[in-house]
Amino acid sequence: MQDRDGEGEPQGRDFAEEGRKLFAGHCDFIWAADKIDGLPPMGPPEIAFAGRSNVGKSSLLNALTNRKALARTSHTPGRTQQLNFFALGAEPPNERMRLIDMPGYGYAAVSKTKIESWTKLMRSYLRGRSTLKRVYVLVDGRHGLKDVDQEMFKLLDTSAVSYQIVLTKRDEVKKSEVESRIAKVLEGLAKHPAAHPEVIFTSSQTGEGIPELRAGVARLLAQMGM
Ligand SMILES: Nc1nc2c(ncn2[C@@H]2O[C@H](COP(=O)(O)OP(=O)(O)OP(=O)(O)O)[C@@H](O)[C@H]2O)c(=O)[nH]1
Ligand SMILES: [Mg+2]
């Protein structure tokens, strides 16, 4: 990943270290929402993890916070069925930020009614939440972008939310294929100027890319003056 100490960036700060500290602090599950009127009151900045079912959202959350089972993971797609909110940094109401584990999309084996209700919930959350500062869209590093991911990007483009792609399961991708996988994803993002122009390739198993992602979140907070 290139460094981006460009214009408007807080200078002279060690975001790797700030990110490490941020995620080493308190983190606790605070809220689950399965319908739009069930969202918690808005508070500190929120960042959400979205992506196809089974891509590794809950695992990534655990890796970031260095917990084994903060967010529930599963081999069976469709494990996370609500928007799960986690407070990071301190106990509410003094938490620094919130992390949101989202239900996966693109999973065919769930009932149509259920898919419709999750989609509605996700749409209204993504569109109506002024404290939502970034969505990390996870993409399975073994497979790259799928059509449903493009649909998600379109939704995010019209929601005016900043988003970035995070590739997952790097430990299952051959070293020789990493660069071409990233290049292919960047190609697919070309039609989405709202997307952050960098991709982070992570593994929740080996921890690769995790410090970079933490640093990105710390940088985001700094850009907001927090
Ligand atoms: N090898 C490898 N497997 C991973 C990694 N991250 C997640 N997995 C596996 O992928 C499966 C799904 O992981 P989850 O974290 O539950 O995925 P999710 O995106 O939260 O899934 P839903 O909640 O169903 O949408 C589990 O079997 C994980 O062990 C990774 O970095 N490497
Ligand atoms: Mg999950």
Query: What are the strands, taking DSSP E only, across 94-131?
Result: 97-101
Q: What percentage of the chain carries pLDDT values higher than 90? A: 67
What is the distance of C-alpha 161 from the center of its chain? Answer: 12
Radius of gyration of the chain (CA): 16
Q: Which atom of ligand 1 is nearest to the CA of 53?
A: 25
Rounded to the nearest angstrom, the distance between the alpha carbon of 58 and the centre of ligand 1 is: 7
Give tens-digit pLDDT for 96-110.
999 999 988 887 677
| 172 pocket-lining for ligand 1 (C-beta < 6 Å) | yes
- Residues 137-155 have a mean pLDDT of 94
Give tens-digit pLDDT for 15-47.
999 999 999 999 999 999 988 889 999 999 999
Q: Which atom of ligand 1 is nearest to the CA of 204?
A: 31
DSSP secondary structure, 45-102, as one string: -EEEEEEBTTSSHHHHHHHHHT-SSSS---SSTT---SEEEEEEESSTTS-SEEEEEP
Task: Given CATH 3.40.190.10, say whether it is the number of domain 13-51+65-97+117-133+190-226.
Answer: no
Listed residues: CB within 5 A of ion ligand 2: 57-58, 79-80
Give tens-digit pLDDT for 61-72.
999 999 988 988
Phi, psi of 170 (to 5 degrees): -55, -30
| 205 pocket-lining for ligand 1 (C-beta < 6 Å) | yes
Smallest CA separation from ligand 1 atom 7, residue: 56
Q: Is the dihedral of CA 125, 52, 207, 12 positive or negative?
A: negative
Q: Which atom of ligand 1 is nearest to the CA of 78?
A: 24
- Grouping H, G, I as helix, E, B as strand and the rest as coil, residue 117 is helix
Give tens-digit pLDDT for 166-193.
999 999 999 999 999 999 999 999 989 8
Q: Which atom of ligand 1 is nearest to the CA of 105?
A: 25
Rounded to the nearest angstrom, the distance between the alpha carbon of 14 and the centre of ligand 2 is: 31
Rounded to the nearest angstrom, the distance between the alpha carbon of 75 and the centre of ligand 2 is: 10
pLDDT for residue 10: 63
